Amino acid sequence: MVESHLRDADALLASIEAGHDDPRSRLKALFAALAGQTDQIARYGCPHGSLCLGLDKRADGPGLAAELMRAPIEWMRRQFEAMGCPDACDLAVHLLARYQGAALLTSTLRDPDLMTREAAQAAEWIDTLG
């Protein structure tokens, strides 16, 4: 199951790489893609975040599930670096945390518009960087 999620995440990142020429538009496209299924997120939360949360409770730790968070963080870090941001790692963690927090609130409050608004604000924030 985790391997399937990892393949999906890799495919999404590769698709964004192929479809966008600059790192700023790639970051915005990633957030928009993650946030794009607002009704599903409102009902079930983030599929990757939910999986990681469940697997983290295992005695042997999250294992491969942690890669579901590490892979996009590393990809985002490279995008922020390409934009010339000296704190690229911190920005990458912040952006993923922003999405995961919005997904949790969207699901908890069952409010798809919350995720839509957060995606728009994240895009505006990305435009202010670099």
Q: How confident is the model at residue 124 (pLDDT cuts 50, 70, 90)?
A: very high
Backbone phi, then psi, for 86, in 5-degree steps? -70, -25
CA 47 – CA 15 distance, rounded (Å): 19
- Count of the separate structural domains present in the chain: 1
Over the stretch 95-116, which tens digit does the pLDDT of each residue have?
999 999 999 999 999 999 999 9
Q: Which two tokens stand for residue 80?
A: 């922020």
Tens digit of each residue's pLDDT (9 = 90 or more) over 50-96 = 766 766 666 666 576 777 888 899 999 999 999 999 999 999 999 99
Position 130 scores a pLDDT of 73
Helices (H), 20-111: 23-35, 38-44, 47-56, 67-82, 88-109
- Structural domain boundaries, residue 58: 2-127
Q: Please tell me the distance from the alpha carbon of residue 42 to that of residue 59, in angstroms, as a whole number.
A: 29
Which CATH number belongs to the domain containing residue 89 in this structure? 1.10.357.10
Of 35-39, 55-59, 124-128, which one has max mean pLDDT? 124-128
CB neighbours of 82 closer than 8 A, spacing ≥ 6? 23
d(CA 32, CA 26): 10
